[in-house]
Structure 1
Amino acid sequence: MRKDRDKLSVEWVKLELLRTAYATRGGLLARRDPRFVIGWYLLLAVVPWFTHNLTVLAGLFAVCAAAVVLSRVGPLILGLFVIGFAAEGLYLFVAAWFFGGDTSTVLALAELTLKLSTISLASMAAFVSLDPEKLSDALLSLHAPAMLSFGVSYGYRMLPVLMEEFHTVVDGHRLRGAPLTSRGFLGWRVVDRTARTVVEAFYPLMLNTAKRTRTTVEALETKGFTYAGEHPDGRRIRLAYLRCDGGDVALLLVTLVLVVACFWAGHAFPVYGNAG
Structure 2
Amino acid sequence: MTRKQRDVLSVEWVKLELIRTAYATRGGLFAAMDPRMVLGWYLMLAIIPWFTHNLTVLAVLFVMGAVAVALARVGPLILALFVFGLIMESVYIFVAAIFFGGDVSTVVALLELTLKLGTISMASMAAFVSLDPEKLSDALLSLRAPALLAFAVSYGYRMLPILVEEFNTVFDNYRLRSAPPEKPGILGYRTVVHWIKMAVLSFYPIFLNTAQSVRTTVEALETRGFTYATVDQRGRNIRLAYLKVRWLDVVVLALTSLLIAGAFWVGAQWPIYHTDLT
Same fold (TM over 0.5): yes
Residue equivalent to 2:6: 5
Spell out the pairing of 1:190-201 with structure 2 (5 A cutoff): 190-201=191-202
Distance 2:170 2:10 in 1: 18
In the TM superposition, residue 273 of structure 1 has moved relative to its aligned partner by 2.4
SS of the aligned residue for 2:58 comes to: helix
Note if 1:102 corresponds to 2:103: yes
Give the Cα separation in 1 of the matches to 2:113 and 2:93.
11
Distance 2:274 2:197 in 1: 44
Deviations 1:174-205 (A, max 9, x none): 11112332222211111111111111111111
Taking the aligned partners of 1:86 and 1:185, their CA distance within structure 2 comes to 27
Answer with 4-13 or 39-48: which moved more.
4-13
Cα drift, residue 245 of structure 1: 1.0
Does the 8 A contact of 1:68 with 1:125 survive in 2?
yes
Q: Tell me, which stretches of 5 or more residues in structure 2 are unaligned?
A: none
3-state SS, counterpart of residue 201 of structure 1: helix
Of stretches 194-203 and 141-150 in structure 1, the one that deviates more from structure 2 is 194-203
Unaligned runs of 5+ in 1: none
- 1:1-276 maps to which residues of 2 (within 5 A)? 1-274=2-275
Contact 2:54–2:273 (Cα < 8 Å) also in 1: yes
Rounded Cα–Cα distance in structure 2 between residues aligned with 1:4 and 1:191: 20
Q: Deviation digits for residues 201-250 of structure 1, max 9, x if unmatched?
A: 11111111000000000010011000001110000000000111111111
Residue-by-residue CA offset, 1:117-147 (whole Å, 9 max, x unaligned):
1000000000000000000000000000000
Question: For 1:30-56, what per-residue CA distance to the aligned partner results, in whole angstroms no more than 9, with x for missing partners?
Answer: 000000000000010000000000000
- Give the partner amino acid of 2:168: H
One-letter amino acid matched to 2:238: I
Percent identity, aligned pairs only, is 65
Deviation at 1:75, TM superposition (A): 0.5
What is the distance in 2 between the residues matched to 1:226 and 1:265? 50
Decide whether the 8 Å contact of 1:109 with 1:273 is kept in 2. Answer: no
On the 8 A contact 1:136/1:149 being kept in 2, the answer is: yes
Counterpart residue type for residue 32 of structure 2: R
Tell me by how many angstroms 1:274 deviates. 4.5
Q: What one-letter code is carried by the residue in structure 2 that aligns with 1:13?
A: V
Taking structure 1 as the reference length, the TM-score comes to 0.98
Choose 173-182 or 158-167, whichever is displaced more: 173-182
* Contact 2:180-2:191 within 8 A present in 1 as well: no
Query: Are 1:110 and 1:273, in contact at CA under 8 Å, matched by a contact in 2?
Result: no
- Between the aligned partners of 1:84 and 1:247, the Cα distance in structure 2 is 33
Moved over 6 A (4+): none
Q: Please give the per-residue CA displacement for 1:29-87, whole angstroms capped at 9, x wherever unaligned.
A: 00000000000000100000000000000000000100000110001100111111111
Q: Do the aligned residues in 2 keep the contact of 1:54 with 1:111 (CA within 8 Å)?
A: yes
| TM-score normalised by structure 2 residue count | 0.97
SS at match of 1:134: helix
